[in-house]
Amino acid sequence: MTNTCQYCSKKIPISKVFCSPTCKESYFQKIAISVPKPFIKKLYFFCTKEEKDYEIKSFAQRHNWHEDLVLEKVEELFQEYYKCG
């Protein structure tokens, strides 16, 4: 029997929830990240690719979050807000 890592979906023993401490940390940090909806809208509809990268970088730095995690979260929320239906 195997389980999958809650963060990266790698196969792991059933007794574990995450494959590594890094995944555990990333998982919980990502849950803690909150991105305002108007910010998402601005990024996707009013920014160039360069501006979007810059905005995400400074947003992450301002809140002391990992830029990669913020980017993942932003993409998830964009799908949720603007791509459903």
Question: Whole-number minimum distance, CB 20 to Zn ion, in Å?
Answer: 6
By CB under 5 A, residue 17 contacts Zn ion: no
Assign 3-class secondary structure to 14-72: CCCCCCCHHHHHHHHHHHHCCCCHHHHHHHHHCCCHHHHHHHHHHHHHHHCCCHHHHHH
69 contacts Zn ion (rule: CB under 5 A):
no
Only segment of 17-25, 40-48, 54-62, 68-76 that touches Zn ion (CB under 5 A)? 17-25
- Look at the alpha carbons of 33, 25, 72, 53 in this order and tell me if their dihedral is positive or negative: positive
Contact residue for Zn ion among 23, 35, 69, 77 (CB under 5 A)? 23
Q: 71 near 49, Cβ under 8 Å? A: no
Q: Among residues 8, 17, 33, 47, which is the contact residue for Zn ion, using CB under 5 A?
A: 8
Residues that bind Zn ion (CB under 5 A): 5, 7-8, 10, 19, 23
